[in-house]
Structure 1
């Protein structure tokens, strides 16, 4: 039911009250801290773009369209590369979902008479939501990045300042992201104690969304780099975090992109392409599925609760249809000789 009375509150007042609710849900466990952070950032941005002093109920569908378009044209502050100057399609879709959730609550709370999202006409495609680049790296690009990470573990440690001696840690970050595809929040939350050995196989117990956990076995190469990092390269610190800065503090989410960019500088320019941590999650899913790894196994590696979610992470690779047709199962020659 909708409230009987309308509260004509400003956009900023409504945003503040909504974010108080979001924070309360985080305390009770109804929302993860990462999701709450996204809502807070998007709703704060919406208030700034819409006009904090305006009455929320006075906003129309056209006003919401204008905000969505303004957000689409905003530079992506997480990246410094010219080709990534505006918001990606996924960021635009996420922002729209956050705004929609905000107005859904505003309708129930009596802050607006009618939800203006129902009259908004701007879609992701009309907002220029086509991705400028494929999110998943091609096999050659991914192998170039993984190869650069491996080379870092074999290189002599930097003889310069302590804040320059991070090669093994950087290599571990790139290898974990490229081969297991964890969410960046899962990666920076990881603790040393989350890694254990069972029957000679090293596992990572990943604490994911919604309080769910999954135990994922590490490839041998990744295990070797992990052991090297823990025994020789991890700073001595009381913090139980796996990934530490040279000062001995847990890495933040924003630090991970800088690590990837630093490793990318060692990749051959012919194989190099800008990629985000989430792009490496797409890369993991895409190449595991392209190699015919069981879909349910891939789902469990990525921590999805539903197989249908994998469709959003499976990106198209150049030439894959041609390869599939060349290896068509119905055109394989039958076995000859005495085979039965």
Structure 2
């Protein structure tokens, strides 16, 4: 059982106690010395990445996501002469298992109230390494990311300010990518394209009809779909085409500052870069496909017609769309608070107006189109 009182140890203190316990298990034969040293090494790495003086119980799932992804990007130090190679997929998976075992013990020992690994979104894959889980952002997280993109893409915003690269080096104006990065994030979050559709997009795929900007998306199986862009996204697109896109004969929409079409792998780095402008309490690692889930989840949660969402995402049937609808925290509570059958009269509830009453059988079938739901209710 968990102790009644929480012991607020620092990361370093808890790690020292845990490693001492792990090494003690070698004397009983419960662990081999080699395995114990692997645990000890991984925990020592965790301490360096998380911070020695941080209280262990203050770490959240988002903090652990940052630690796990930082380890994945860390050069492999086992080689005598570093060659630039990062941690292998198996090393990343092993590190996650070591951290998970450490926090399981911490929860039992009373060093943390709740195991933060249960809310970590970074999963381990033996072949693909550690990666942010393909899960929708909450409304607050998505709005934080959109707000950061708007800040970068706004006239006179961060895109107009002096920019610095690694080591404080000033980035030349012709190497600036803020407008492009803002456009990428807004397109992914608002329209939800596949990352392959995004990097394949050409300037000529965007057109205007009756004052509305459209994106003709070339999707799977040679299918195309024309999706209208929200006003904010359309304005950012215009700003990027006018001031952010390099002058070149290349037809691709999204270009590197050298004028080359972006690759699929470049998009994750763009999202991570924009995430730096998001407030800490609203930031969460997410993949491009996770933003596709975010688009579907929030459109459906806001009662947008399912078939319209299907057409935006380019799915061939509604069954596929169901896999993109992720569960949002608190949505069941909101649904029950606004239950349509329990609303008081006059607020759109049952019995709020005579028009809500069903027609009498003598009246015959209603004129005009009939919804699928009403057709299902009619007797055969």
The interval holding the TM-score normalised by the smaller chain is 0.5 to 0.7
> Does residue 199 of structure 2 align to residue 161 of structure 1?
no
Q: Distance in 1 between matches of 2:132 and 2:317?
A: 28
Q: Distance in 2 between matches of 1:88 and 1:196?
A: 44
TM-score (norm 2): 0.56
1:142 alignment partner in structure 2: 142
Structure 2 unmatched ranges of 5 or more: 1-87, 94-98, 100-119, 164-169, 355-380
Change (3 A) 1:176 1:88: farther
TM-score (norm 1): 0.62
1:1-340 alignment to 2 at 5 Å?
A: 75=92, 84=122, 86-87=124-125, 135-153=135-153, 154-155=157-158, 156-158=160-162, 160-162=170-172, 164-335=175-346
2:110 alignment partner in structure 1: none
Change (3 A) 1:275 1:196: same
CA RMSD in angstroms, aligned pairs only: 2.8
CA distances 1:280-332 after superposition (whole Å, capped 9, x unpaired): 00000000000000000000000000100011100000000000000001001
Deviates more, 1:249-258 or 1:163-172: 163-172
State the Cα distance separating 1:141 from its structure 2 match: 0.2
Is the Cα contact below 8 Å between 1:75 and 1:85 reproduced in 2? Answer: no
Change (3 A) 1:200 1:249: same
Q: Distance in 2 between matches of 1:330 and 1:152?
A: 44
Q: Distance in 1 between matches of 2:299 and 2:321?
A: 11
| Corresponding pairs, count | 227
Is the Cα contact below 8 Å between 2:297 and 2:325 reproduced in 1? Answer: yes
Q: Secondary structure at the match of 1:259?
A: helix
State the Cα distance separating 1:88 from its structure 2 match: 9.3
Q: Secondary structure at the match of 1:267?
A: coil
Q: Secondary structure at the match of 1:301?
A: helix
Extract structure 1 runs of 4+ deviating beyond 6 A: none
Change (3 A) 1:228 1:143: same
1:44 alignment partner in structure 2: none
CA distances 1:245-291 after superposition (whole Å, capped 9, x unpaired): 00000000000000000000110000000000000000000000000
Q: Which has the higher contact order (CA 8 A, sep 6+)?
A: 1
Q: Secondary structure at the match of 1:215?
A: strand
